[in-house]
Amino acid sequence: MDEDVLTTLKILIIGESGVGKSRARSVEVAGVVEELLYSRG
């Protein structure tokens, strides 16, 4: 299940980063995702 969630988040982050304007937000989201994964692991 974690793999599916991670894959979905990656797709969302990559999609967002392609927009350009949302690039900063994508980095923000990626940081939050990493924090969540580390706190769970």
pLDDT at residue number 22: 60
Helix, strand and coil percent figures for the chain, each rounded to 5 = 85, 0, 15
d(CA 34, CA 39): 9
Token pair listed for 25: 């937000």
Model pTM? 0.41
Q: Tell me what pLDDT residue 41 has.
A: 66
Q: Which long-range contacts (CB under 8 A, 24 or more apart) does 1-6 make?
A: 2/37, 2/40, 6/33, 6/37
Q: What pLDDT is stored for residue 33 in this prediction? A: 81
Question: What was the pLDDT predicted at 1?
Answer: 62
